[in-house]
Amino acid sequence: MEKDADGFYTPAAAAPAAPTDETKEKEPVKEVEKGGEKEGEGEQDPETDLIQSTFDVEVTLADQQADPNSPLFSVKTFEELGLHPDLLKGVYAMGFSKPSKIQERALPLLLADPPQNLIGQSQSGTGKTAAFVLTMLTRVDFSKNKTQALCLAPSRELARQIMSVVVAMGRFTSVQTEYAIKDHLPKGASRITAHVVVGTPGTMTDLIRRRVLDVSEVKVFVLDEADNMLDSDGLGEQTLRVKNMLPRSHPVQIVLFSATFPDHVRSFANNFAPKANKIELQKNEISVDNIRQFYLDCKSEEHKYEVLVSIYTLLTIGQSIIFCQHRHTADRISQRMSAEGHKVASLHGAKDASERDAIIDRFREGREKVLITTNVIARGIDIMQVNMVVNYDLPLLNERDNWGNKDDAHPDIETYIHRIGRTGRFGRKGISVNFVHDKRTWEQMQEIEKATGKHIVRVETDDMDAMEETLKKHLK
């Protein structure tokens, strides 16, 4: 499968035949991640440096997919999962040779008739998108010009990425697609008849309300990043509004996927998707081992900035994402780094739609190597060449406001897991680097360590050579 200049999946010239080297071990399934790399890199955007390591990475992925302890492992082939031949061709054209564990387990449940709801959990970067995209494409009757599948995601960037997978997997079908994201449809557009509509909840609600989008024939409703989409502090209300507008004349299959389902969302998820089949991870399985986690002990906010800059001066990093808690921090760091000659871009929710699209597309293409951002792209974004995630600010809940009124800030564990999951995609290796600069942030980091059950290794910041050596070793 090829990705276009924007790094999105595009149809290749011809669908390759099914791979022949399927591995069929029957060992029991235990979901723990192992390190490794992703296959098919040689088919990526020819303008990026990804192309260099084609042979090695394919071998490593095959190893992982044959390892029963890996979430990439499965005993089945895509043929055995009950996919329509046109979709099977789409899957192989993307360069997928074997299902991952979540695909193997979820697809038979998702495709069964009569349709059943599903709540599916699997670690970041393990292929949940393909599972729900194949479900939507299986449920659509392409002979009808009616919207039959809706998918909601928390950001326009993720909605656009999901759509690229719908188009790629559906390239041998006659699927028609449309976005429900801000500023996408031309003003005055009167009717959407696309089979599959992907978007964000606010715009989706608006289109349904204005009767631009007719949902009377919708059969499947997918929430990606479902815990975030259902959280009452997040998008819960808007998502519920969309659900309440769906038809009651026939059952609608509800499909929820995420890498995280915190307890406070689980019961709401159970009500939202009643009688759902469930695929759940144990708490200690959620965060992956192929992402090595570090923390940098800094002396002050200003020292954080100095250390950040020295990382980029000392190390050769493929691509990286720097997460800040606030938009103004992202802008400030990006301005300072740019002024000092570093090539960086910043992306956050205050930028307008077309600017956001252009920035993420440039980053996908590899034209920007460093993206400074907020939680807006903490979830779902899949850019395989990202090998480092920096938590310049740890993700927090209940933060202090500008007047310092709230004082019960605590780490946002779910967001942390999603942020670091922007690296280490589909078995690749990656590092995450957390900045700690006082007792409070150190305690927050400890809390994260405890909650995720994964050791976060201290890295010296007053010995630059040692810092370089430690990080370099794991960036290889």
Ligand X SMILES: Nc1ncnc2c1ncn2[C@@H]1O[C@H](COP(=O)(O)OP(=O)(O)OP(=O)(O)O)[C@@H](O)[C@H]1O
Q: Which residues bind ligand X (CB under 6 A)?
A: 39, 96, 98-100, 103, 122, 124-130, 259, 380, 382, 384, 421, 425-426
If the CB atoms of residues 83 and 192 are measured against ligand X, the closer one turns out to be 83
Max Cα-Cα span within the chain: 67
Rounded to a whole number of angstroms, the minimum distance from the CB of residue 305 to ligand X is: 28
Residue 39 or 412 having the CB closest to ligand X: 39
Least distance between ligand X and beta carbon 172 (Å): 17
Please identify, using beta-carbon distances, which residue of 130 and 386 lies nearer to ligand X: 130
Q: Shortest Cβ distance from residue 70 to ligand X (Å)? A: 12
Output 57 or 298, the one with its CB closest to ligand X: 57
Q: How far is the CB of 124 from ligand X (least distance, A)?
A: 4
Q: How many CB atoms lie within 10 A of CB 333?
A: 21
Smallest distance from ligand X to CB 369, Å:
19
Residue placing its CB nearer to ligand X in the complex, 239 or 334? 239
Give me the half-sphere count of Cα atoms (radius 13 Å) on the Cβ side of residue 371. 34
CB of 99 vs ligand X, minimal distance in Å? 5
Q: How far is the CB of 331 from ligand X (least distance, A)?
A: 25
Please say which residue, 72 or 359, places its beta carbon nearer to ligand X. 72
Based on its alpha-carbon atoms, the radius of gyration of the chain, rounded to whole angstroms, reads 22
Residue 420 or 445 with smaller CB distance to ligand X: 420
Q: How far is the CB of 351 from ligand X (least distance, A)?
A: 22
CB of residue 382 to ligand X, shortest distance in Å = 4
- Smaller CB distance to ligand X: residue 120 or 334? 120
Cβ neighbors of 198 (< 8 A, separation 6 or more) are 150, 151, 152, 153, 159, 162, 163, 166, 177, 179, 180
* Comparison of 192 and 360: residue with beta carbon closer to ligand X: 360
Q: How far is the CB of 250 from ligand X (least distance, A)?
A: 28
- Rank residues 100 and 470 by Cβ distance to ligand X and give the closer one: 100
